[in-house]
Amino acid sequence: MAVIEVREIQKRYSGAVAVDDVSLTVEQGEIFGILGPNGAGKTTTVECVAGLRAPDRGTISVLGLDPLRDRAELTRRLGVQLQESRLPDRLQVAEALELYSSFYPRPADWRALMEALNLQSKATTRYGRLSGGQKQRLSIALALVGNPEIAILDELTTGLDPQARRDTWALIEQARSRGTTIVLVTHFMQEAERLCDRLALINGGRVVTVDTPEGLTAQARIEQRIVFHPSRPCDDALLTALPEVSRVTRRDDLVVVEGTAEAITTVIPLLSAHGIVPQRLRVEQASLEDAFVTLTGKDFS
């Protein structure tokens, strides 16, 4: 069952189009990712979904509600963590969590959230004295403290160290297991691959495609790469003669063979037959980042 339906929304700022006819549907209980480079329109899209911005045209339904007309009701059922948010500098961590939990009819245990996000040692620390990563973890806790039906998380783990990032991922997976639908905005590929059931690729304010992480990689039709250092000189023509091989290139002293998934089963025996040992051998599968670059023609740099 769809809990979010976005139909052909557009948003302009000073004449520039930030979101251009974006349509997408989020199903109940899934982790739905919105993936794209900075400036692609990801944040504007979810701010419209959350009722924080009004689209210039198009329609949005969240839990059967209009985010603008029914904002008061939707606020009680929706948790939001924005890229940039701020609390009063003098407000303590525990005070913030206790205060926010009081806004909801069936809140989560804010003390457990504080512990899960490793904030218990900062319970009495004022917001203004928190580091950037600690503020980010508190923002995540505040988005989840209302035990929301839907949580919108924008750049979830920006500024977190690797361990805090993994702890946060586990917390999000736990929230989903309790029935919370997650909308996750990210440009972090590992995060998207780890968490998301489906992904919308957005570039230039438009949805390029929507699919599972595996489906996006399949769409890109990127060939497998076999990389090795030959123990003796190797003629490229020897390898390109194989029907499973499409191209052979060099990376300094490494040979890079591109071809089908079956290429490895023909390349290795051929090398062995010619007395060549493939040293430092590795097989590189297509990644989600490879797929994004192929499907959009744009990287994340």
Residue 18: which CATH number? 3.40.50.300
Q: Which of 36-40, 269-273, 291-295 has the lowest mean pLDDT?
A: 291-295
Q: How confident is the model at residue 301 (pLDDT cuts 50, 70, 90)?
A: very low
Where does a domain end: 218, 252, 269?
A: 218
Is 244 inside a domain boundary? yes
Residues near 237 by Cβ (< 8 Å), separated by ≥ 6? Answer: none
pLDDT of residue 29: 95
Residues 92 and 238 in one domain: no
Residues 261 and 112 in one domain: no
Is 107 inside a domain boundary? yes
Q: How confident is the model at residue 83 (pLDDT cuts 50, 70, 90)?
A: confident
Residues 227 and 212 in one domain: no
Q: How confident is the model at residue 101 (pLDDT cuts 50, 70, 90)?
A: very high
Domain of residue 259, residue span: 223-285
Residues 235 and 210 in one domain: no
Residues 210 and 229 in one domain: no
213 pLDDT more than 70? yes
pLDDT of residue 55: 96
Q: Which of 1-15, 171-185, 275-289 has the lowest mean pLDDT?
A: 275-289
Identify any residues that bridge with 16 across adjacent strands, giving them in sequence order. Answer: 13
Q: How confident is the model at residue 114 (pLDDT cuts 50, 70, 90)?
A: very high
How would you class 53 by CB atoms within 10 Å of its CB: exposed for 0-12, middle for 13-18, buried for 19 or more? buried
The whole-number average pLDDT for the span 129-142 is 93
Where does a domain end: 218, 237, 264?
A: 218
Residues 122 and 249 in one domain: no
> Distance between CA 278 and CA 269 in Å, rounded?
10
Residues 176 and 268 in one domain: no
